[in-house]
Amino acid sequence: MNSSSSSVSPDSASLVDILPFLRAYKVRYFFGILVLILVDVLELIPPLLISITIDTLQGLPSSGVLATTLRRFSGGEIGVILWIFLGAIFLQWILRYLWRICFFFAQEYIARDIRRRYYYKLLELDTDFYTKAQTGELLSLASNDVDAVRMMMGAGFLLFVDTLCYFCFVLFLLISWNVELTFYLALTLPFLPFVVLYISRKIHFHFKKVQQQLAVISAHAQETFSGIGVIKNFLREPQEIQRFHRENQDYLRYNLDLAKYQSLFWPFMAFVVSLQSLLVLWIGGQFVQQGEMSSGELVGFIYAMWLLTWPAIALGWTMSMYQKGMASLGRLKGVLGHPSSFSLESSVSVVSLRGKIDFSGVCFTYPQSSHSALENITLRVEPGQTVALVGATGSGKSTLMRLLLRLYSVQEGEIRVDGFSVEELSLAQLRRSIGYMPQETFLFSMTVEENIAFGLEGVDFGVVERAARLACIHEEIEALPERYRTRLGEKGVNLSGGQKQRLALARTLAMSPPILVLDDCLCAVDPQTERRILANLRTLCPRPTILVSTHRLHTVQDADWIVVLEGGQILEQGTHDQLLRRGGWYAHTYRQQQLLQCIEGGPDVG
Ligand SMILES: Nc1ncnc2c1ncn2[C@@H]1O[C@H](COP(=O)(O)OP(=O)(O)OP(=O)(O)O)[C@@H](O)[C@H]1O
Ligand SMILES: [Mg+2]
């Protein structure tokens, strides 16, 4: 994911940000570190035993604190030395398993915690955030970035501790054998982590490009499958194949670049380690000849030196993992710390709302928009009234509804429901009281029954069926293969656009909200059925307050009040008859639509 083209602004993360994770799993980390230190101490035994064995076989004395102590402990018996060797290897095997369990479990728990917090946050964030954020990016944060933090907190953390301890212990062992030789070796060591870091960065850079290109290919393939009908109708197959070929070639190129650096890594390491061995053998050999070291010690030294290259390599990896993890944590913080302008708390406690709505002097401009979407809207809707919002496309109908639902906050003026400002009601209270049907319908891949009962606690079939009847979809559901138990969506039955809209309406009606906000949500339903549904809603007892928007004027001609919006302002308002008499936009558009229906021989438009 490229943060420069990011729609979510990243935050900066510091060590303080990882403290809560360490604290949450402190017992695991504590034991992990303890066992890790034990393993690192045990790592010293094999080189020591090798040097002691060689010296014992040659009848030479041992020097160095560790070697002499261990030799005294074994009584100089080769059999005992081998038994100690075997014991150390076994113990290491068990302890290595233990620390892996400690750290790897901790990293999985941490990843789970971050994913959970992230998902909760995404549900809490307001509509404004989603208008800017890209779905792909949000998904990538949940997978790639959480994974980078997971690696940092698990593998990265253990490598860091391991590297430090191991380095100190092995260095101590080497110094105990020969200070001068250790000094020469130490001169070559700092070089390694930087080379590792350099190569790791290159690998990471190319890996990112590979991932990005894979995303491009996947998106293209997905788009092709979704739009296969359009591609075939427009005879675009050759162009699409060519485009895919180009993308595939790029993918290959990026993979080859990555393979170059990946192939470089281990051969380079082997080369450096061999050079170090050569240096130690050359200088150490002279020390042995001069009698400053025994041959057993030199062999042990070389063995321990090989052990030392691991922490040097690991240090480079640790740095790279830390950098990636911190960058990802920063990006996640950008979302987790994103302010949610809506408080879930309410300052007033209302059991149920009756449905009186007051818009007074409402003005609103969308964030990042230069022109106002609504200007000075004042409107009162009494409980049980049906008010229709009509007007040309872009006149502000949906915006007014969104403000009532507090999907956005009003900038000037006020919206009150039953006398309470929508700002002081809790979001939960507000949205439970308002059944909102947006212009776009979304159904889940569940059964029809579960879809309708989505907002209910459990499935009450009586409520589900009543809602379906009100939305004029009951008969069609009964005709489905498994009726209300029919599965919808990807692996289930696909409904027509109008059926989907009526099913979604049934879902809203099942909640029996005192206020219904229907934003042009039945545009795919035939006008007669739309009118019948609206009539059904007015028979409900108690009658819900209905705010409905549409482009088909005759479907709302029975509404108690009709408001015509233009450019975010109220152009005219009244009952159907009043507006017709007025002879303005409404009367003109209504007659035009009526004429069109007659010409097309359409249904009776009343
Ligand atoms: N998310 C948004 N960000 C910025 N501007 C927006 C956004 N949504 C709508 N607008 C603008 O606000 C104005 C009112 O839009 P709105 O969606 O309320 O119109 P509408 O009356 O519902 O139109 P339609 O009949 O096409 O649904 C338009 O100028 C539109 O371009
Ligand atoms: Mg709209």
Among 336, 369, 387, which residue terminates a domain? 336
Atom in ligand 1 nearest the alpha carbon of residue 369:
4
Percent of the chain with pLDDT over 70: 93
Domain extent, residue 362, equals 358-599
Mean pLDDT of 101-120: 89
Q: CATH code at 529?
A: 3.40.50.300
Q: Are 554 and 388 in contact (CB under 8 A)?
A: no
Do 374 and 245 share a structural domain? Answer: no
First-last CA distance in the chain? 56
d(C-alpha 228, C-alpha 583), whole Å: 48
Answer yes or no: is the C-beta of 395 below 6 A from any ligand 1 atom.
yes
**pLDDT (mean) for 350-372:** 83
pLDDT at position 4 is 39
Residues 59 and 156 in one domain: yes
Same domain flag for 299 and 424:
no
Relative to the CA of 520, which ligand 1 atom is closest?
27
The pLDDT value recorded for residue 250 is: 93
Q: Is residue 605 over pLDDT 50?
A: no
Residue 34: predicted pLDDT: 92
Nearest ligand, CA 390: 1
DSSP strand pairing (434-437 vs 515-519): parallel
Domain assignment present for 343: no
For the CA of 396, the nearest atom of ligand 1: 18
Residue 31's pLDDT band, with cuts at 50, 70 and 90, is very high
> Could you tell me if 370 and 440 lie in one domain?
yes
* CATH code of residue 199: 1.20.1560.10
45-104 pLDDT, tens digit per residue, is 888 888 888 877 777 776 666 777 777 777 767 778 788 888 888 998 999 899 888 888
Q: Which residues contact 94 (CB under 8 A, 6 or more apart)?
A: none
Question: What average pLDDT does the segment 109-118 reach?
Answer: 89
With 0-12 / 13-18 / 19 or more C-beta atoms within 10 angstroms meaning exposed / middle / buried, residue 170 is: buried
Q: Is pLDDT at 196 greater than 80 in this prediction? A: no
In a domain, 150, yes or no: yes
Q: Is the CB of 447 under 6 A from ligand 1?
A: no
SS3 for 408? coil
In a domain, 346, yes or no: no
Average pLDDT, the chain: 82
CB of 393 closer than 6 A to ligand 1?
Answer: yes
241: number of Cβ within 10 Å: 11
- Which ligand approaches the C-alpha of residue 551 most closely? 1
Question: 87: CA distance to ligand 1 center in Å?
Answer: 75
Looking at the fold, whether 305 and 441 belong to one and the same domain comes out as no
Report how far ligand 2's centroid is from the alpha carbon of 391 (Å).
10
Q: Confidence class of residue 345 from pLDDT cuts 50, 70 and 90?
A: low
pLDDT category of residue 563 using cuts at 50, 70 and 90:
very high
Which of ligand 1's atoms lies nearest the C-alpha of 568?
Answer: 14
Atom of ligand 1 nearest to the CA of 439: 27
Mean pLDDT on 317-336:
83
- Give the model's pLDDT for residue 7: 56
Q: Tell me if 250 is assigned to some domain.
A: yes
Residue type at 334 in one-letter notation? G
The tens digit of pLDDT for each residue in 212-252 reads 788 778 778 877 887 788 888 878 888 889 999 999 999 99
Instruction: Please work out whether the CB of residue 399 comes within 6 Å of at least one atom of ligand 1.
Output: yes
Task: State the pLDDT at residue 141.
Answer: 81
Structure-token pair, residue 137: 């990016």
Name the residue with the closest Cα to ligand 1, atom 17: 398
Considering the domain architecture, whether residues 275 and 389 belong to the same structural domain is answered as no
Total domains present in the chain: 2
Highest mean pLDDT among 217-221, 275-279, 328-332, 359-363: 359-363
Ligand 1 nearest atom to the CA of residue 397, by list position: 21
Q: Whose C-alpha lies nearest to ligand 1, atom 5?
A: 366
| Average pLDDT of the segment spanning 480-502 | 79
Q: Indicate whether 214 and 308 sit together in one domain.
A: yes
* 341 domain-assigned: no
pLDDT confidence of residue 1: 39
Distance 519 CA to ligand 2 centre (A): 6
Does residue 348 form part of some domain? no
pLDDT of 581 > 80? The answer is: yes
Is the residue at 604 inside a domain? no
347 within a domain of the structure (yes/no): no
Q: Are residues 238 and 138 in the same domain?
A: yes
**Which residue's CA lies nearest to atom 31 of ligand 1?**
394
CB of residue 128 inside a 6 A radius of ligand 1: no
Q: Which of 359, 364, 377, 395 to mutate to test the pocket of ligand 1 (most atoms within 8 A of CB)?
A: 395
How far away, in angstroms, is 330 Cα from ligand 1 center? 34
Q: Are residues 255 and 390 in the same domain?
A: no
Q: Give the distance (Å) from ligand 2 centre to CA of residue 364.
A: 15
- Are both 552 and 421 inside the same structural domain? yes
Confidence of residue 356 (pLDDT cuts 50, 70, 90): confident
- Say what the pLDDT of residue 418 is: 86
Say yes or no: CB of residue 394 within 6 Å of ligand 1: yes
What would the two tokens of residue 407 be? Answer: 């999907």
Helix H or strand E segment including 566: strand 561-566
Q: What is the pLDDT of residue 387?
A: 93
From atom 3 of ligand 1, which residue's Cα is the shortest distance away? 366
Same domain assignment for residues 326 and 454: no
pLDDT band at 3 (very low <50, low <70, confident <90, very high): very low
Domain termination site, one of 306, 336, 366:
336
Closest ligand 1 atom to 402 CA: 18
4-to-1, 8, 602 alpha-carbon distances in Å: 9, 10, 54
Tens digit of each residue's pLDDT (9 = 90 or more) over 144-184: 888 888 888 888 888 888 888 888 888 888 888 888 888 88
389 C-alpha vs ligand 2 centroid, how far in Å? 10
Indicate if 274 and 364 belong to the same structural domain.
Answer: no
- What mean pLDDT is predicted for residues 244-270? 87
451 lines ligand 1 (CB under 6 A): no
pLDDT for 283-310, tens place per residue?
888 888 888 878 888 888 888 888 777 7
In the prediction, which pLDDT does 330 show?
A: 86
Bridge partners for 561 per DSSP: 387
